Structure 1
Amino acid sequence: MPPALAEIVEDFHAVSEPERLQLLLDFSRGLPALPPRYADHPELLEPVPECQSPIFLLTEVDDDADRTVHLFFSAPAEAPTTRGFAGILAEGLDGLPAAQVLDVPGDVCSRLGLDRAVSPLRLRGMTGMLGRIQRQVRESTAA
């Protein structure tokens, strides 16, 4: 697991279960806004139907030696759990080489220790986000 994402997982395990929800809300507030090139063209982002709330995402892969990945998310403020998961992925994966993003294990959301605090449907949403990110990165690096 990439160091930044591993550190986030450690942060969740360093606090009690009720505090994990607060930490998730903190990540929701920290989700970066879309840059104008995407905010003005939301049709460029891919929906994540596994999420109960409407969320859209897009990856960009630089043409540098590492194939650096950049993540962009659009999620409504009234969906803090979804925004929190997006915030975790943004903080843990944005700016990493494509190979590291592709190596992230699919069970990363369950490693956060939110199984009893968040419904399985919501956890499935984070897994869906990660799956779409990895698919977009694979497609970009194969082209």
Structure 2
Amino acid sequence: MTDQPDIKAAQEEIVDDFALFDDWMDRYRFLIDLGRALPPYPDDLRIDDWRVKGCINRAWLHGEARDGRVYYQASSESEIVAGLIALLLKVYSGRTPREIIDNPPDFLERIGVWENITSNRINGLKGMIGLIQGVAAKAAG
């Protein structure tokens, strides 16, 4: 059992947090702060297997299934990408594979991410989501 909110509530919390900001410059600053708060990423996981495909800046996202749940850790050289990673980890890390598979990151559209980041970052974000889903699918069998 975990003490984190359910996955829908975690997504709603992010939507509510972003609603506090009037413009995207403030939202970018918020993303940067989230990215800076990510825990350190182990050097031994900075390998191609965990490198986010499509990301211009180097970024890594590692997933591991343990005790019926999937745990993720990640890092990026880009502060904004690191912030996007932080959002995804808040929603998906520590969840069951089925929860991850059954709950696409709709909150990203609701907070306006797709319209407010560059096409290169969109590719990287899609790569992160693909890694998250791929690890969950593998863990689900």
TM-score w.r.t. length of structure 1: 0.80
Greater fraction helix: 2
> 1:36-93: CA deviations, max 9, x gaps?
xx43343375111221211111111113xxx2111011322xx111111111111222
- Which runs of 4 or more aligned residues in structure 1 lie more than 6 Å from their structure 2 counterparts after TM superposition? none
The answer to whether the Cα contact below 8 Å between 1:107 and 1:127 also exists between their aligned partners in 2 is no
* AA of the residue aligned to 1:130: I
The answer on whether the counterparts of 1:106 and 1:127 sit within 8 Å (CA) in structure 2 is: no
* Aligned pairs (5 A) from 1:14-93: 14-17=20-23, 18-34=25-41, 38-43=42-47, 45-63=49-67, 67-76=68-77, 79-93=78-92
Say if 1:114 and 1:43 are closer, same or farther in 2 by CA, change over 3 A: closer
**Uncovered stretches (5+) of structure 1, i.e. residues with no partner:** none
Pairs aligned (count): 134
Shift in alpha-carbon separation, 1:28–1:130, aligned structure 2, 3 A:
same
In structure 2, the residue corresponding to 1:109 is in which secondary structure? Answer: helix
Q: 1:108 to 1:132 in 2, by over 3 A?
A: farther
Distance 1:52 1:59, change over 3 A: same
After superposition, the CA RMSD in angstroms is 2.1
Cα 1:126–1:28 change in 2 (3 A) is same
- Pair 1:4 & 2:5 matched: no
TM-score by length of 2: 0.81
Taking the TM superposition and a 5 Å limit, the aligned residue runs for 1:60-139 are: 60-63=64-67, 67-76=68-77, 79-139=78-138
Unaligned runs of 5+ in 2: 1-6
8 Å contact kept, 1:59–1:136: yes
